Structure 1
Amino acid sequence: MKKIITLLLVAITTTIAAQSKYDKGMQKAFDLWSQNKTTEAAQLFERISKAAPDQWLPPYYVATIEILGSFGLKDEATLNSKLKKAQEFLDEAKSISPDNPEIIINQALLNTAYIAFDGQKYGMSLSGKNAILYNKALQLAPNNPRVILGKAEWDMGSARFFNQPIEPYCKDVAKALELFKKEKLPKFYPKYGKDRAKEVLKQCKKS
């Protein structure tokens, strides 16, 4: 009996120590990111993903940093390099957490980075995929404000492209904003979107 208790205590202590190391690493990575040290942050998230292969958040954040850093690039080779790396880490996150709405909308954001770079080249093949991704994410998480906001912004972009009004989607942005105010999330979980929802809602009121 004593051996069993000892083994349990060792297992619990080891788990707590590993979790503490994970938490410290993640917090440091976020601190680097907040200081605009994106390369260092991505590298640390990457190291954490190797040390904690059962956690989807570290590879998710590597992908996120690469995706966000690809917007505004002028060189296609650099864009492809960043988004190829982002896709690899996004696929890793998917393998750990399948049908995760946060990962699904990040895939849509990756596709949007290609479309933003060259709409004629990538728009036709990726626009339809994004519509499917946002619809799937909404089915999985109908009250996730990032999903609702992401889909609303995508629909607004499509409406503008076809010279249609964006007003039908403004109610979704307003809904997302209300859900952001009530949201309570686990540590290190994606929390972005509230400020963006406010900005998009301002655009709605101007239109």
Structure 2
Amino acid sequence: MKKLILAILLIGSTFVNAQDRYSSGMEKAFELWQNQKTTEASNLFERIATAEPDKWLPYYYVSQINTVISFGEKDEEKLSKQLEKAKEFLDVAKAISPDNPEILIQEALINTAWIAFDGATYGMTLSPKNVQLYQKALEIAPDNPRVVLSKAEWDMGSARYFGKDITPYCKDVERALELFATFKSETPFYPTWGKERAEEVLKSCGK
């Protein structure tokens, strides 16, 4: 009986230590990212992902960093490497957490980075995919502020491209801001981005 209790305590202690390492690693990676050390942050998230193969968030953040730094990149070879890595890690995140609205949005952002780089080449094939991704994310999580904001921004971009009025989508941005005030997740390190972006979009809304 004593051996059994000892074994249970040891397993519990190992689990707690592993969780502590995960938490401290994630916090350090976010700190690096906040300090504009994107390569170091991506590498650390990658190491955490390797050590925690059942957690989708480290894979998601590797994907997100490599996507964000791709906007505005002019070197096609560098862009391709970054976005291919982003997609590779996101595919793993998707396998761990299927039908996850945050992952669907991130997939659409990868497509958007390609479109922003060369709309003539990638717009026709990737734009319809984004419409589907945002619609699916909205069906899964209609009260997720990042879903509402991201879809609204995509719809605005499409409206501008076709010379249409973006005003109808302003109400969606307003709703996203309302949702940011109340949205909570019990999952540690769950995505929180978007509120400042929603405020920026709303300021220029309808102009």
Same fold (TM over 0.5): yes
1:81 partnered with 2:95 = no
Q: How do 1:28-177 residues align onto structure 2 when only pairs under 5 Å count?
A: 28-177=28-177
1:23 partnered with 2:3 = no
CA distance in 1, matches of 2:100, 2:2: 42
Q: CA deviation at 1:84?
A: 0.5
Runs of 4+ in structure 1 deviating by more than 4 angstroms, as ranges, are none
Q: How do 1:186-201 residues align onto structure 2 when only pairs under 5 Å count?
A: 186-201=187-202
**Percent of residue pairs bearing the same amino acid type:** 61
Q: CA deviation at 1:3?
A: 2.9
CA distance in 2, matches of 1:61, 1:138: 21
Deviations 1:108-135 (A, max 9, x none): 0000000000000000000000000000
Q: CA deviation at 1:47?
A: 0.3
Q: Secondary structure at the match of 2:85?
A: helix
Q: CA deviation at 1:77?
A: 1.2
CA distance in 1, matches of 2:78, 2:146: 28
CA distance in 2, matches of 1:171, 1:120: 30
CA distance in 2, matches of 1:51, 1:106: 22
Q: CA RMSD in A?
A: 0.9
Q: CA deviation at 1:2?
A: 2.8
Which ranges in structure 2 are unaligned for 5 or more consecutive residues?
Answer: none
Q: CA deviation at 1:192?
A: 0.3
TM-score w.r.t. length of structure 2: 0.97
Which ranges in structure 1 are unaligned for 5 or more consecutive residues?
Answer: none
Deviations 1:155-194 (A, max 9, x none): 0000000111111111110000001011223321100000
Deviations 1:58-110 (A, max 9, x none): 11000100000101011111111110111110011111111110010000000
Q: CA deviation at 1:5?
A: 2.1
TM-score w.r.t. length of structure 1: 0.97
Length, aligned pairs only = 206
CA distance in 1, matches of 2:133, 2:188: 25
Equivalent in the alignment of 1:203: 204
AA partner of residue 187 (structure 1)? P
